[in-house]
Structure 1
Amino acid sequence: MPETKAIMKAMAAKALSLLARGNLAICKRITESKGLRCFAVLLEKGPKEVQRYSAMALMEITAVAAEDPLLRRSAFKPTSPTCKLVVDQLVGTIGKKDSELVLPCLKALGNLARIFCASETRVIRPLVQLLGERAEISREACIALAKFACPENHVHVDHSKAIIAAEGANDLICLTYVGEQIVRSPAMVLLCHIAMHVPDSEELAKANVLSVLKWASTQTHVFQGEAAELLLEAKKTLVCCQCRGPRGFP
Structure 2
Amino acid sequence: METPELQLKLKVSCAEALWKLSRGSVSNSRKITETKGLLCLAKIVERESGELQFNCLMTIMEITAVAESNADLRRAAFKTNLPAAKAVLDQLLRVIQEENDPQLQIPAITNVKVATEAAVALGKFACPENFNCSEHSKAIIECDGVPPLMKLLRSGDQPQRQGLVLLCYLALNAGNSKALEQARALNALEGTARSVLAHHPELKDLFYRAMNHLTLYQAGAPLNRQSLAS
User: Paired residue for 2:226?
Assistant: none
Is 1:125 aligned to residue 94 of structure 2? no
User: Paired residue for 1:91?
Assistant: 42
Deviations 1:20-71 (A, max 9, x none): xxxxxxxxxxxxxxxxxxxxxxxxx971221111001111222233xx3x55
Q: Secondary structure at the match of 1:186?
A: helix
Which of 180, 184, 197 is matched with 2:160 structurally?
184
Instruction: Quote the Cα distance in structure 2 between the aligned partners of 1:195 and 1:223.
Output: 22
Decide which moves more: 215-224 or 147-156.
215-224
Residues 50 and 130 of structure 1: CA distance in aligned 2, closer, same or farther (over 3 Å): same
User: Paired residue for 2:106?
Assistant: none
Alpha-carbon offset, residue 98 of structure 1 = 3.1
Alignment of 1:15-26 (within 5 A): none
Residues 211 and 106 of structure 1: CA distance in aligned 2, closer, same or farther (over 3 Å): same
Residues 228 and 130 of structure 1: CA distance in aligned 2, closer, same or farther (over 3 Å): farther
- Normalising by structure 2, what TM-score? 0.74
The residue type equivalent to 2:50 in the other structure is: S
Deviations 1:92-124 (A, max 9, x none): 221145321122211211233332113242111
Instruction: Quote the Cα distance in structure 1 between the aligned partners of 2:216 and 2:179.
Output: 17
User: Paired residue for 1:61?
Assistant: 21
Alpha-carbon offset, residue 221 of structure 1 = 6.5
Alignment of 1:193-208 (within 5 A): 193-208=169-184
Alpha-carbon offset, residue 225 of structure 1 = 4.0
Decide which moves more: 137-146 or 89-98.
89-98
User: Paired residue for 1:101?
Assistant: 52
Q: Which runs of 5+ in 1 are unaligned?
A: 7-44, 246-250
Q: Give the count of matched residue pairs.
A: 195
Instruction: Quote the Cα distance in structure 2 between the aligned partners of 1:171 and 1:222.
Output: 25
Contact 2:22 2:28 in 1 (8 A): no
The answer to which structure, 1 or 2, has the higher relative contact order (CA under 8 A, 6+ apart) is: 2
Residues 87 and 192 of structure 1: CA distance in aligned 2, closer, same or farther (over 3 Å): same
Residues 180 and 220 of structure 1: CA distance in aligned 2, closer, same or farther (over 3 Å): closer
- Normalising by structure 1, what TM-score? 0.69
Alignment of 1:139-158 (within 5 A): 139-158=116-135
Contact 2:15 2:55 in 1 (8 A): yes
- What root-mean-square deviation, in Å, do the aligned CA atoms of Structure 1 and Structure 2 show? 2.7
Residues 175 and 226 of structure 1: CA distance in aligned 2, closer, same or farther (over 3 Å): farther
Q: Which has the larger radius of gyration?
A: 1
Contact 2:197 2:204 in 1 (8 A): no
The residue type equivalent to 2:9 in the other structure is: E
Q: Secondary structure at the match of 2:129?
A: coil
User: Paired residue for 1:18?
Assistant: none
Q: Secondary structure at the match of 2:194?
A: coil
User: Paired residue for 1:138?
Assistant: 115
Contact 2:161 2:196 in 1 (8 A): no
The residue type equivalent to 1:102 in the other structure is: Q
Q: Which runs of 5+ in 2 are unaligned?
A: 65-73, 100-110, 222-230
Instruction: Quote the Cα distance in structure 1 between the aligned partners of 2:19 and 2:198.
Output: 29
